[in-house]
Structure 1
Amino acid sequence: MKEAEKNDKFKLKEEVKESSVDINMVQLLSDQTGISVEDIKSIFEHSKGDLEKLIDIIKDVAPCYMAIKGKFQSKRQGDLNGAFCLVAQGVTGDILVLKSWVDFESLSQSFDIKATWESVFSYICKLENVKYKQAQRRFEDLLYNFFTNTTLNRLFTSNLSLAELQKSLSQAIANTFRSDLVLDIDIEKFNQIRYKLSPVAGKSAEEGIPQGQEGQENLQQAVKSVTLACVPRLDVIKGKAVADLRENDEIEVSIASSYPLGKFMNRLFATNKLMPVFKVKSVQQLPSGAYMVRLFISDGIEGVFKSSGELKVRTMEKANQRKKSLYFFVFLTLIMLIGFFVLFFVFRR
């Protein structure tokens, strides 16, 4: 009888101990993943003790991505307004996609950054225009420089307040565009399943890598090449329409500084006081009616920009013609001087 009582007490202690370990584990996973305690308990029950299954479920449902949605509106009429949607990985702070819009027109009153990031992203995509590409590029450069990996990770882990972020970003935008403005931002955390169902992941899958041996060759080629976003310099009066561009035409552009290589090349050109001028590799009209222009920068490096066919860009054709005319004028002057000296010596004799 006493032996039975001892066994019952031992079992009870083991059950309490096991329960205590489970509660601590549940709380730890909840703190680390951002999933509620109730959901973690439900995952434990669903996995039925299978550790691999437990990890897979947590990977799918744990918030590991973050979307930052924002809009700024000028207090003065006639100044620039803008909006953006940025999606990043929470732990690494890597930016996966950034979509922005800048215009002198006001945003629709129906635009709400408190809506889901998918709807905000899709809305900004529909607002995309080519009228103020230079201002948009400056805005995107600002965002890429502002939202560093550590800043994004601090936001994801709630170690940086939204009010603090909003104040700093508002000041940075105001300094860039020299405008008095009002900025609103919102942060949304979400899981891997939701990202896979998003318009961003859907677009990537749609444009995905071809299968088979040809697809592998294309993948290897893509890895070896680097593509830099460029912004063509406009010349409304003497420029050449994008639709009329041909292979080997030389175009003046500015290189986006979103990535280290772009920053390095811009610094190199600035140090040598040179303007980036590259030859056209190809001009392709897209189904949307816009044109995709690819530029040859170097072996394995190409520039690319997209715009409407009517947009007039500055080419180097006029400059080359002027250079040839100058060379001809100098050559003609030298011939005349030589002829003058020859005649002078002849008549002197």
Structure 2
Amino acid sequence: MHISSLVITYVEQNLLRIEAQEKEIFGVAIMIDWDRWLVKWHVEFLGRQWNFVDLATLAGLVYLHYLAILAPFYFTWPAFWSAVALYYISGVGVTLSFHRNLSHKSFKLPKWLEYFFAYCGVLSFQRSPLEWVSIHRAHHQYTDTWNDPHSPIRGLWFSHVGWALDYRTRFGSYEARLKNVADLKSQAYYRFLHYTYPLHSVALGVLLYTKGGMHFLVWGMGVRTVLFLHAIFGINSICHTWGQQVWDTGDLSKNNWLIGLMAHGEGWHNNHHAFEYSAQHGFEWWQIDITWYLIRFLQAVGLATDVKLPTETQKKRRALCNKISEESLKQK
């Protein structure tokens, strides 16, 4: 049997297994849309109950997109470079701090530096470290099942942004809120950021407007924030729908080069799901991973310690090509 046919067969078997698990647990008949790798599922938008958090999130997203639309009318090179700088600074706050450091503990930093990067992440308009980490840990615990906060099995729109507008989907109830981040809730700094995080973005917007008027506000807040928001949203939607799957993860995670570039290396998502603890996501030389380069630099100067990476033996065990070979031998 041709290797490409084996790959397709193996992936389809995993998708069917996921579907069977959903039916068994929830008694819901889910139809796989093989053409687009999506499950046809109607997600309520206007017909559901909206609370204050949902409405505030929607208002913030609309305002930021409005600013981004104004970009051609307020272009200046200083404003453009301010957006580039903030894209990187706030971006690594999410990828290095929220994700690899706080969610997965892939490495350790001195507290002052850990807190600095976490603050940078707060400026990305992606909520507090507590909430971001809570959602992400739930994603890995329930990947591509009905309990996953943002899986495309509920539809591409839902996995991209719909989940962010539905507070009940993220936590189910107020009592379930942030139940998996006790390690962070015990620290006063993260509790402070959780209750004040919108104020920091507002303060940044005021500072940008004071320094450069609407030009800096449009580019430094609007364009920069919208682009990175969709880069991170794309990990949930695009990287679980389109791309290359090279590891036996039993889920829909894919490596996607475009998201890899836009999200500082986070787009090598199948790599990440195969080795969640790894501080490095881009394993091949051509898999650009800006976040890993920064972690490696911090390690070289003695600031990042206990940096976790998969061994070659662990990689061989999870390689999809090896798994497919085993399956083909069984078929023979």
Give the TM-score normalised by the residue count of structure 1.
Answer: 0.27
Give the TM-score normalised by the residue count of structure 2.
Answer: 0.28
Larger Rg: 1
Larger relative contact order (C-alpha < 8 A, sep ≥ 6)? 2
As a proportion of its length, which structure holds more strand? 1
